[in-house]
Structure 1
């Protein structure tokens, strides 16, 4: 025998030719002995007769037979076992005897030298043979079951890993539903403020654990790339790089160095960048944030798509899995909505064309949670509601005079625009901008009119060529910086401008709106609650500076922070940090407020100007009115009542509120506030406010009232149809988890305490309502846990995330913890025991409890789903993951010395197996087919 010859491991089955030559004897290696002539084995021969003898290792062959359960025990430093599997086949290749082993846990098959395998006896065989149960195994069986349940629940939801969040039930359900579906092409359409970023992070983390999302491309609006990168770090996903900022691509092969990429939607759609992107390898998953920006419309037989949609369509060929995020995917535009779904599921084109007749197909394409439904883990609604107050500015002679002159200017401007046809469109646009500026503040319109007059007087040949932004949130900051034609829009414009500027200056000097804001709103808030933080929204930077100056004069130079679209992400983040630390007021424009979340430090928002699109108001309030807000949100809307435009806007908001109330009452919801916001968003998306205001200038207030009512009737009808459609989308449903073993912090703590006792870790004390556990580690455990020899043997640990965050030095026992990994490793090892046991339990009666791992695969054999179940058999009836079994897992188990008969065991096992097979069958669908069933542990209940 050469020094390279493998020696069978202890527990390996070997065979040797009988002396008579009539066959082989087979047995199990018990010891390995060294002799001068080579290695010898002490073998316990079992077939055909039982005896023990020593034999040279070179004289034996494989004794394994197909169907035997074996464990890979390949020796060597740094070599990890492939685990436990079943023998499928055997071969001899170049004098090497090899065994094909199916490892169900990993879904892999490998040819291995027979010498590196040892036989094991799994739970099913032990139970069917009625092997005697020892008392010590009851607690170890409970801990083994808990370990499997913990790992599987985390794989299916990601909630037990090192996340900087405490997920809500609706977020857990969403991730679980998508992972369990076996289909990763989804439109996540949760309401604003329900945490689509969190859900995406959880989903990516869970896919990362499965190893199914190595290459991920995340496409976002330009202003959110850095914020997404920071958010993903909360999910232990800190390897995402931003294209064009963290790295650039000079050659196509450089893409191989970047597996996790975030990129701007508008950058990627550009020809050079798109060409480079299309040269990258395929992605495991592509995600589009704010998917409603991918627009394709149908006009007759003609399809017109945006550059953004073309980008998504091109990238669709580079991935099997596409995820779209959008709170407003429909927007009353059915053809655009169908186009989005076609991106998701191009294979279901024909069904989507018939969507109105078969809306139930949305159930496996769209997941939608409603604000009106979501609760915390205790079942309490997470939104405390909001109070909205209209603050009306008193009428004034200055305001009325200015509005009268402005209306005259607008009528002449719109008339000049109409007279020039398409060439006059820029004039009409400027008129609309001036109306918005006037509705915002006296400072904003005064500044704009002065700029217009200077343009005309100085006769600078600057024309209206500004590039229009593609995102509505940037319109305001863009509009007030327009360059206009240096020629008069109409005869006498200069004279009228001079009058307007004089009246605007007078209005600014006697600004009742500003006085109401500073004295009656902000002043009273600070008087009743000194130091209260307030978020203030306006559409324009000029107004922003105007308010800043007024608040600084009243409350000091350090009281106010600004954020707007001209600032870099880092500058905005620093301004927000100063506001949350010591600031009183944060004044934001629409663009500045994109993506910010301030709910943990602020619950008051003031809208100094009201946006023309009511949905923008919902999104402003959504900066505070979202998950994590512990207080009722207070909203102050400032209304200028003595101008025509403001009267129309007030009328529009009043009418919309009435429609929303009517629609909300039809729904049978206990909590209607979130539902009203949702309907408001749907209705607001369907109204062309600018068209209505333009008509008001030409037709008067009465005709405008009729146009508003007609627009709302159409919007209400469209919104109602949209709601009917979305009723078929999947949503958070606790009943969906009725067959699941839901794991909580209680289970984690019970497992940790039980394992401490098993592996010799001393629990010194439990404090803070038993949530903080002080332990002392044995010296021998340090290297197994991965601790240095100098590390302290005393630790403070907890399974409660908030406690670990709030108390320095306390280690969190989540599934990223080295200590928790060690405990799970020990509990899941074969030699830990706990494969079968017997115990008494007052609530379980008599019968048996089984643990089993169910797995499903795609039609091409790729694992798509794994589920751990516990079945309880009593009097011939079987229940899966019953509540009483879940409670039993929380209590240390006291075992019995017990032995059943094989006949009794087979009857009980047949009941469990039948129910488990029904579960395997019921979950199977067009994406999933059964892969394997592995029995983990079995116990008699006596």
Structure 2
């Protein structure tokens, strides 16, 4: 009996008394801890049950007191708070209103596909670069967390993208993820398993696959696993450890999201292996022997190019959501001095490499050539760093331990690793004799002296950039991307002198998030201007309202990186009809051949087939291309023969054709009307942006804030007490409308810290003894008194906790009002159309409390409504996957949890308001 009582007392939703106050249990106890929140929602804590000494008691939620608030607005605000705080189980989307993200219709298709089967989400999100896969995956993660279908989440990604994912979750979804790294390990309590202690974790896939981590990763009960750049975990040579790790996780977790813009290499076995990850136990029937069951798999793959999205909108007669793109290469002829410098670097490459073209020195030679093609300052800094290193090496003998470096200096990444001279450190010495050190030192010192006077002077490429910005790109704001911070400094110092007062902004990875936001805000506010940035902004930030032109000051050696840069401004919502893209590179340089051998080829193949095989952005492929150029062209490439690699291009084109043919491009389980219908239901009458603006203005006014309403915006006219994450100046515009342009606008949502703080304050005040507001009394168009009772019910399923609000309305004689009449009264109250009557009506409040229903009948109706909706979905899924599939049947396994919670009492009396 005692055990049954304890089980009931500690169920989620149960009300208990501990430490002198009432708490609601949030989750099943994790022995010996119990997660609880105070009934007013203002406090969350963990109860350590052994320390409570048996003093925890099971109680009921207190009923509203029959006392009216001094201001009837308090009751109205409280009712709105309860509606906004409750995650209505029958709402189409929960994540949308609790995120800062601004999704567009096509980005909601993966979320709709996930909600078709929320008990077992298995999706390959393979939209093209620039269509917003991070947003699509993030919406699903947030939705599953809110609905209680997931708690423990693991995100695996290439190491250089860990922070990008963490920032995206924080910035767009108000979700805090721990990043597996040295900082996390330093903060780890002694003896704790880092994979076990954190519920939301982002880790590098190559770290997680290591033997010392793999078993620990697989041992954890993850509810949801997200794999970014998932093609790296396909079953191909050299990637088997990644493949085995993801397959092991796929077999153990309920929800799996594979994210990649390039799922198909042109070789079917890699693509098939990704589909197998989605269905390792065969429950979904995605495989038919060794082949993909396309009819089934299309329900688990969302794969669209930009053209597919255009057709998707066009089918409904909607205009193109994207601008046109005007891309042009801008080759620059080097001056006599610059050509001579390239020749000297070619000689230096020969000095480094000797008779072994595959030596690690090759990568250092490439690094210098690439820095030279970027800017004279970038090369000068590299020379200085190398000279300093050689000087240190010359003072003590070094062991010959030349190992091939990682590709930090070679493959483009957003963390500016190329500026860290990775190749220099990796290639300490490829020789034994000290005389070799002295020879290299002498050569580099001569180069450094020759370059010293010119390091900060305009070179030919800079002059061409200035011409572009003053001529064909004049009048519009432009983002100039560079790989190196040294080059960023070079451009930042020289450009203001050449652009006739045009403001120049700079942004790099050394800036804090607050500093970055300040720079972007300043750039957004400027009528004209140029932003010089490294790849720190090439992922995760949408800048279509900031600029409409992109210049690549030097080429990224990766077509995917190029597209990611362009996608910052060439995306849905760009107000300009045309986005101009310019790609600068020196003729007769390594960059020129990289352009023609890799970048231009990828652009032509994509223009023809709509896709590019995924290996074009792969480190090994890029490395092979560069090695091939070195071997065929010599140390200083000079060939410009367009047909030099025709056969290779024909092979690549054939693989692209197969990738297109065998993929799922253009397939959509949902069309635009489906999305618009769900959006309309999500933004019901209580949660339209206009109603949320009004709620926020009235709620913040309780603490001194004043706003002027203008259309879909609020403008601050009076500052009040600071709120969490909200302290704007007078004149600042704010809005809950997610589709308004972001420039000079502070966006709010229901999960914004300031909104959550206001709701907590209002709810705590309403539940307090000093200023109760859970009871209200209003004049309305009724024949006699009407008592309106607001309840909240919670339901529990195998993998979720669901909740909903419902009303029961009746007269003093016990006659129930129909739902339509109840909604009319409630709508008038929440719209601010009703006022509190004069006179003493306290007897009606006491009578209403005495006649209060238990709420059981309303809860049964609410549950029946939920089950009816889910039964339709279950029937549909049963036709697809067959009867009796567990994850399908579990959707209707809902049962009441605890007793209905009586939240509020509203009494309406006859009369004109």
| TM-score, normalised with respect to structure 2 | 0.60
Q: State the shift of 1:176 in Å.
A: 1.4
Look up the match of 1:671.
none
Q: State the shift of 1:587 in Å.
A: 3.4
Helix, strand or coil: the match of 2:655? Answer: helix
Look up the match of 2:337.
398
Contact 2:125 2:259 in 1 (8 A): yes
Q: Which one of 876, 883, 908 corresponds to residue 922 of structure 1?
A: 876
* 1:765-780 to 2 correspondences below 5 Å: none
Look up the match of 1:440.
374
Look up the match of 1:468.
406
Look up the match of 1:931.
892
Q: Which one of 580, 599, 604 corresponds to residue 634 of structure 1?
A: 580
Contact 1:399 1:642 in 2 (8 A): no
Helix, strand or coil: the match of 1:157? Answer: coil
Q: State the shift of 1:516 in Å.
A: 2.1
Give the Cα separation in 1 of the matches to 2:591 and 2:738.
Answer: 51
Give the Cα separation in 1 of the matches to 2:505 and 2:173.
Answer: 31
Contact 2:557 2:599 in 1 (8 A): no
Q: Which one of 362, 372, 379 corresponds to residue 307 of structure 2?
A: 372
Give the Cα separation in 2 of the matches to 1:496 and 1:550.
Answer: 29
Q: State the shift of 1:432 in Å.
A: 2.8
Contact 1:186 1:322 in 2 (8 A): yes
1:303-352: CA deviations, max 9, x gaps? 7524x555545544653222222222334454444444444332249965
1:51-81: CA deviations, max 9, x gaps? xxxxxxxxxxxxxxxxxxxxx999xx99999
Runs of 5+ consecutive residues of structure 2 not aligned to the other structure:
1-13, 26-59, 61-82, 695-707, 716-732, 764-794, 805-826, 830-866, 896-913
Q: Which one of 516, 522, 535 corresponds to residue 469 of structure 2?
A: 522
Q: Does 1:603 align with 2:548?
A: yes
Give the Cα separation in 2 of the matches to 1:562 and 1:770.
Answer: 33
* 1:156-305 to 2 correspondences below 5 Å: 156-158=92-94, 161-181=97-117, 182-233=119-170, 237-243=174-180, 245=183, 248-250=187-189, 258=197, 260-265=199-204, 268-269=207-208, 274=213, 277-278=216-217, 281-294=220-233, 296-298=235-237, 305=240
Q: Over the residues paired in the alignment, what is the CA RMSD in angstroms?
A: 6.6
1:796-832: CA deviations, max 9, x gaps? 999745789999999989998969x99xxxxxxxxxx
Helix, strand or coil: the match of 1:535? Answer: strand
Helix, strand or coil: the match of 1:158? Answer: coil
Look up the match of 2:570.
625
Give the Cα separation in 2 of the matches to 1:584 and 1:199.
Answer: 32
Look up the match of 1:787.
none
Give the Cα separation in 2 of the matches to 1:456 and 1:163.
Answer: 52
Change in 2 beyond 3 A, CA 1:364/1:862: same
Change in 2 beyond 3 A, CA 1:499/1:865: same
Contact 1:284 1:320 in 2 (8 A): yes
Helix, strand or coil: the match of 2:98? Answer: coil
Q: State the shift of 1:170 in Å.
A: 1.6
* 1:86-125 to 2 correspondences below 5 Å: none
Change in 2 beyond 3 A, CA 1:602/1:682: farther
Change in 2 beyond 3 A, CA 1:499/1:740: closer
Look up the match of 1:714.
651
* 1:793-942 to 2 correspondences below 5 Å: 800=737, 921-924=875-878, 925=881, 926=885, 927-929=887-889, 931=892
* 1:362-761 to 2 correspondences below 5 Å: 362-374=297-309, 379-407=318-346, 410=349, 416-418=355-357, 425-448=359-382, 460=394, 461=397, 464=402, 468=406, 472-473=412-413, 476-477=418-419, 478-479=421-422, 481-482=424-425, 483-485=428-430, 512-524=459-471, 528-529=474-475, 533-551=477-495, 554=498, 562-564=506-508, 584-590=529-535, 593-631=538-576, 632-643=578-589, 646=592, 649-650=595-596, 653-664=599-610, 678-679=611-612, 688-698=624-634, 705-727=642-664, 732-734=670-672, 743=681, 745=683, 747-748=685-686
* 1:122-133 to 2 correspondences below 5 Å: none
Q: Which one of 234, 256, 264 corresponds to residue 330 of structure 1?
A: 264
Helix, strand or coil: the match of 2:681? Answer: coil
Look up the match of 2:281.
347
Which structure: greater strand fraction? Answer: 1
Runs of 5+ consecutive residues of structure 1 not aligned to the other structure:
1-71, 83-115, 117-146, 419-423, 665-677, 757-765, 774-795, 823-855, 868-889, 893-912, 935-942
Q: State the shift of 1:234 in Å.
A: 5.3
Give the Cα separation in 2 of the matches to 1:179 and 1:743.
Answer: 15
Q: State the shift of 1:187 in Å.
A: 2.1
1:249-295: CA deviations, max 9, x gaps? 33566779955323331685386972795497512212233333436
Q: State the shift of 1:403 in Å.
A: 4.0
In the alignment of these two chains, the number of paired residues is 705
Change in 2 beyond 3 A, CA 1:406/1:234: closer
Helix, strand or coil: the match of 1:519? Answer: helix
Change in 2 beyond 3 A, CA 1:768/1:354: same
1:823-848: CA deviations, max 9, x gaps? xxxxxxxxxxxxxxxxxxxxxxxxxx
The structure having more radius of gyration, on CA atoms, is 1
Give the Cα separation in 2 of the matches to 1:614 and 1:646.
Answer: 14
Q: State the shift of 1:535 in Å.
A: 2.4
Contact 2:134 2:540 in 1 (8 A): no
1:890-909: CA deviations, max 9, x gaps? 999xxxxxxxxxxxxxxxxx
Contact 1:606 1:637 in 2 (8 A): yes
Change in 2 beyond 3 A, CA 1:271/1:445: same
Contact 1:605 1:635 in 2 (8 A): yes
Give the Cα separation in 2 of the matches to 1:595 and 1:741.
Answer: 24
Change in 2 beyond 3 A, CA 1:427/1:737: closer
Give the Cα separation in 2 of the matches to 1:238 and 1:707.
Answer: 50
1:718-745: CA deviations, max 9, x gaps? 1111112222665653376699795264
Helix, strand or coil: the match of 1:417? Answer: coil
Give the Cα separation in 2 of the matches to 1:491 and 1:606.
Answer: 41
Look up the match of 1:761.
none
Change in 2 beyond 3 A, CA 1:751/1:220: closer
Contact 1:218 1:286 in 2 (8 A): yes
Contact 1:286 1:322 in 2 (8 A): yes
| TM-score, normalised with respect to structure 1 | 0.58
Change in 2 beyond 3 A, CA 1:341/1:627: same
Contact 2:130 2:567 in 1 (8 A): yes
Q: State the shift of 1:690 in Å.
A: 0.9
Give the Cα separation in 2 of the matches to 1:162 and 1:373.
Answer: 29
Contact 1:159 1:172 in 2 (8 A): no
Helix, strand or coil: the match of 1:601? Answer: coil
Comparing 190-199 with 287-296, greater Cα deviation is found at: 287-296
Give the Cα separation in 2 of the matches to 1:655 and 1:280.
Answer: 45
Comparing 382-391 with 727-736, greater Cα deviation is found at: 727-736
Q: State the shift of 1:374 in Å.
A: 3.5
Give the Cα separation in 2 of the matches to 1:653 and 1:358.
Answer: 35
